[in-house]
Structure 1
């Protein structure tokens, strides 16, 4: 993609109104007239002049024209141009995908014509790994064409808007690559002047590419200044706002604004209108969020210097000042430039032509490049020398990616084309709680596929789609071919698994040896290790989700399928936050509702290995076993490895099984350790004689099916007094010890019990002073959630966006309780049936510390009556736990606390079920 959609000049209002109305909404500001001062501006920047460009044509390349590009999709469209996804159809780079930016000369004002020529000139000069590359530039009588990199990862703004805040490690990576890109521009005498997340694109690996040079200024050395008032107001440096002239140092102020926004989810200077925002930039005192590391705070302070001469990066050493700062102490700048450091985020881009990150309003349109109206003769003279062919090195030419566009590929959320338009639906393959899988035939090619049809009202398929797009190219992960969305259902078209389930095939196989079992486990574990290395856990590795793509039975044909429960790890401690388990393949720590990580997948593989070797499962004896019996056996961690069918199994196999099924996830083997185990490493030395296994595959499958059915039953939430909850009872028992100042039982204190979205709860502790998470618990009916952690720094809390917070002083156990009733949210939940009909909705104003209605009591939670009294208003209101995101966005100094504090966050009356 050549430029972010929101950053394109044609994505704004008409040029003549952009300076007025666009600015009021924080949009891009074009160069503005400045009265008498504007005379110099016009002389410096507005003069129409021809800039002759020598053509650079590499041998084997020819001068480009529109006929050499096939239009595939519309990526963006505005008042005077479009951006297309195109494929080169001739020349040495045939079949290469590009983004083609097309501008109509007749609709470009003089100022915009100069900018377009300037953007083309800058792109010709620039060749940098973190700046978008211009491959061709040419013109017809009515249009201008820029052929640029097609970047499939979308823009940084899209990711920022989804995740609210990045981690400091994320920010460090993006800022480091951005610093190198800006330094390269500055070395060419270019001021970028429009730095914002929308103009920072991501390639398929997750590296940044700086784009949109329409507002950049050429030919500026350290002694000269530019005087244009241009860019996006919130990102402007003070010297740009006051129009006293600016240098390349202005980019480093914008660099700081971007850093602040990525770290906090908010802009540092943003008023209710353009005028107030500009005043804040010039005069307002910025409160530094205390949850940021000292290094991050230091860098921000050094970038936010209103005197540009004192700003970091403005000195004689330039970018070296920034690179030497302690915030970047862990960055190897040489490796970074060579793109040898792995990005923190890999965009979900499956095939080269995917456009999942582009606005479906545009991509659903039929790509058509209409003839342009010829402009005036003078305007045509302006663009003499516009044509350009990039010089490519031999290495670059040889390494150029060659791709073919799959004609049947459709885009997620594209409602104009229905799934049944392209596919004929056949019989069911499998039915689950949230989806059904069917065989289907592609009408155009008559090829067979499988389609997973997901009910969006029951499960959000976004995570599954992203994982398949990112990692489906692995040879042993099912390949996603197509995605459709009709509003109610999402259709995931995948390769058809003609070989059936792994366990079915193995159990039916009369002759099966340890050597064969080792080869099977090797293939699966290698795939799982690959996923774990990418921060992905499957969490549902039951045998029915491991299949053969064909009838050969070769380990290479194994595919891991169904990523409906999979998650991409984001917590710093590596723990998953949403308990999810299936039948026999659930790890014991999940049963205890503790945090768990990739060890769950190893547990499931251990159960699979156990079953392959013996013909029965370790914890279920048959279809009549009750869920309680199975769960009790799993929780005890006891299983047999001796006698009966185990007599024919080698000791090394037993050793591996025991270590993969260890009840303690911290002592369980990792995927990498499994691959280094002798039973895997010395596979060729394993016995080839037939294993003595139970020959009752129907019994094994029956036991599994009964367990899955029992555990997957949806239970309706029951609203009862909070005092009856197990958590309240546990807190009541421990309260006396706390009042006497005694230490709590260490195991109780360290217990981590996570529910869905628990990651957000844990993030609160990190945000508020980088405190240490000590406990996160909730009771069985999901009525009460409790977070406990220690704060060791002063923290700023926006009291208006926290549902119920008790700040407990470590010495006197006093607690201030802040309540906020969200009646609108409660009404919404009730309307959708997520609250019982008898739930009452109270209309209550927000209040916080210092208000007359403030509730205060000692030892919050140590007395059941106190908990009950505090909880009842919230129970009637029907709160959910969606406060963390707004808290991140609205962090303001409404209330200051300091010293050593416990923070207790109590959330009552949640009514959702998994």
Structure 2
């Protein structure tokens, strides 16, 4: 069995900033076997159904594996939005790359004019969610077995640079013996290592890590938080963080104190506490799976035997005929299996399904912003799928326009000398995926600008933290804030001062402040984030290393502390201030449309 396609509007959301590009792919064929097509598979039963397609139980009719049962995932191209096409391709890429005893295996992938087909393992045991629903909760020994196999599966993905991002009971399947198989890689992210972060709001809310919820960037450590949620749910039958709605649930994930059930063993409670660290760097597993394996909760697990599937599972699904499906929802299995040809994809989709199957490279990686003129410039991802360094392809010229979230510059192609406009977007402030989708879809129209390249840039993370630290440093030394005079300053005024990068280091307390402190502060508040000091450079600065030589004079205190506090609040409010966004109403609601409608009715009446 394999996951059913995601429903539109489902809680499993992913506001993903990954770049859309053409999918130049070829058929994936099981090694040593012939190229597959739909006619080679006999439809037996429906295992699942979603808005984009179905999952069938099928039997191979020809070839060396004739008679073999598979799960066939069928997706309708015309029903897939651009983002969903990208996720489908990502899932295929990962499934081709991965080969692990506890991860579902892809055997074939092919397409017709209107549909995509993935042929995967058929897992007769259904999913862990179904078993959990029937039994409410598991014993600690059951949970220990499932979590141990799952830890090995996650570690394999992490070693390949993949963040899974959608761990939940529904995505953990059981084979006929009772071993797990991880499935559904549509929300997974490739090519994310310990030094890079993803910034998508991705997964099922109740299982999201705090760093995913607050969108400050997440890495593989986010999977270990979800692992903890899964453990808690299997042991108690309830979710650790669940409010009356999505917003309350997210707030609980960020702030709520977890009540630990006392009926759990000390080892289980200890593991949960170490997994539920809101700081991902302190979370168990952040340094690798060996941290998990060494925990006392897994003390009696033989990891080598477990990997070889030599450990007896605690539960064996009911057995019968090989094609029995009583572990699946009868709502689907009772349906007559039919696979219609499917409507051809729309004209705008052909570029995303050119050829078919898999490319080993990822769709796009998520990078932090780097200076465009630097040798360490971040790669651009082009629609034709070729990655290149921006400085190698284009020469950057003057600004054409500047907006709240982006800047548009003129640039010249190094080879052709053709002029283009490059739009550089700060993704921490705005999600450009919808704009990209529109340009991809309608870019060939003569009156719509063509999308040539997409340069995705992200927030300055660490540099922003250093700047904020500099503001605090300045305020403690001076007795007032560098960019705000008081709580009544408007965001526009504060942002203008910040943009000018001017602040005073003379007069008042500054006459008694050392040159070393001023030098350090100037580097912390530098306008260019790439010239701003890092935390390591701060710690190595002479003002820090020779602090025993600093004067002991107390700077004068400001008696109006509420003014300073208000100015500080105003500064940080200005940084998060959002400009007004107009609300688009239906066309029929406009006064012009209403007037036209009235005229039309009058004319008809006559």
Q: Do the two structures share a fold, i.e. TM-score over 0.5?
A: yes
1:190 aligns with 2:174: no
1:306–1:347 CA distance, 2 compared to 1 (3 A): same
Q: 1:50 aligns with which of 15, 19, 23?
A: 23
Aligned to 2:194: 222
Query: Contact 1:117 / 1:386 at 8 angstroms: preserved in 2?
Result: no
Offset, 1:378: 4.2
Aligned to 1:207: 179
Gaps of 5+ in 1: 33-40, 390-914
Aligned to 1:384: 354
Distance 2:340 2:332 in 1: 16
Query: Contact 1:48 / 1:110 at 8 angstroms: preserved in 2?
Result: no
Offset, 1:281: 0.2
Q: Superposed, which structure 2 residues align to 1:6-85 within 5 Å?
A: 8-9=5-6, 12=7, 15=8, 18=9, 22=10, 27-31=11-15, 41=17, 45-52=18-25, 58-59=31-32, 61-85=33-57
Offset, 1:384: 3.3
Aligned to 2:15, the other structure's residue is in SS state coil
Aligned to 1:138, the other structure's residue is in SS state strand
1:2 aligns with 2:14: no
Deviations 1:410-444 (A, max 9, x none): xxxxxxxxxxxxxxxxxxxxxxxxxxxxxxxxxxx
Q: Superposed, which structure 2 residues align to 1:577-596 within 5 Å?
A: none
Aligned to 2:247, the other structure's residue is in SS state helix
Deviating more after overlay: 183-192 vs 370-379: 370-379
Distance 1:183 1:274 in 2: 29
Offset, 1:131: 0.4
Aligned to 1:46, the other structure's residue is in SS state coil
Query: Contact 2:28 / 2:110 at 8 angstroms: preserved in 1?
Result: no
Distance 2:30 2:44 in 1: 26
Offset, 1:80: 1.6
Q: 2:95 aligns with which of 110, 116, 123?
A: 123
Q: 2:241 aligns with which of 249, 252, 269?
A: 269
Aligned to 1:687: none
Offset, 1:164: 1.2
Q: 1:260 aligns with which of 220, 229, 232?
A: 232
1:113 aligns with 2:85: yes
Aligned to 1:178: 150
Aligned to 2:340, the other structure's residue is in SS state coil
Aligned to 2:201, the other structure's residue is in SS state coil
1:255–1:51 CA distance, 2 compared to 1 (3 A): farther
Distance 1:148 1:81 in 2: 15
Distance 1:385 1:320 in 2: 41
Aligned to 1:98: 70
Q: 2:207 aligns with which of 225, 228, 235?
A: 235
Q: 1:358 aligns with which of 328, 336, 355?
A: 328
Aligned to 1:282: 254
Distance 1:216 1:385 in 2: 23
Distance 2:79 2:88 in 1: 12
Q: Structure 1 length as normaliser, TM-score? A: 0.39
Offset, 1:46: 3.5
Offset, 1:366: 1.2
Distance 2:320 2:30 in 1: 33
1:155 aligns with 2:139: no
Offset, 1:386: 2.8
CA RMSD of aligned residues (A): 1.7
Offset, 1:355: 0.4
Higher Rg of the two aligned structures: 1
Distance 1:282 1:55 in 2: 42
Distance 1:288 1:204 in 2: 34
Distance 1:46 1:234 in 2: 26
Q: Which one has more relative contact order, counting CA pairs under 8 Å at least 6 apart?
A: 2
1:128–1:363 CA distance, 2 compared to 1 (3 A): same
Aligned to 1:100, the other structure's residue is in SS state strand
1:312–1:379 CA distance, 2 compared to 1 (3 A): same
Q: Structure 2 length as normaliser, TM-score? A: 0.58
Q: Superposed, which structure 2 residues align to 1:457-472 within 5 Å?
A: none
Aligned to 1:829: none
Distance 1:168 1:361 in 2: 32
Equivalenced residue count is: 360
Distance 2:60 2:227 in 1: 36
1:163–1:343 CA distance, 2 compared to 1 (3 A): same
Offset, 1:379: 1.7
Aligned to 1:368: 338
Distance 2:116 2:27 in 1: 18
Query: Contact 1:305 / 1:311 at 8 angstroms: preserved in 2?
Result: yes
Aligned to 2:492: none
Offset, 1:345: 0.4
Distance 1:55 1:257 in 2: 35
Deviations 1:490-511 (A, max 9, x none): xxxxxxxxxxxxxxxxxxxxxx
Query: Contact 2:29 / 2:107 at 8 angstroms: preserved in 1?
Result: no
Distance 1:193 1:53 in 2: 27
Deviations 1:426-479 (A, max 9, x none): xxxxxxxxxxxxxxxxxxxxxxxxxxxxxxxxxxxxxxxxxxxxxxxxxxxxxx
Distance 1:2 1:380 in 2: 26
Distance 2:255 2:357 in 1: 46
1:87 aligns with 2:59: yes
1:353–1:56 CA distance, 2 compared to 1 (3 A): closer
Aligned to 2:221: 249
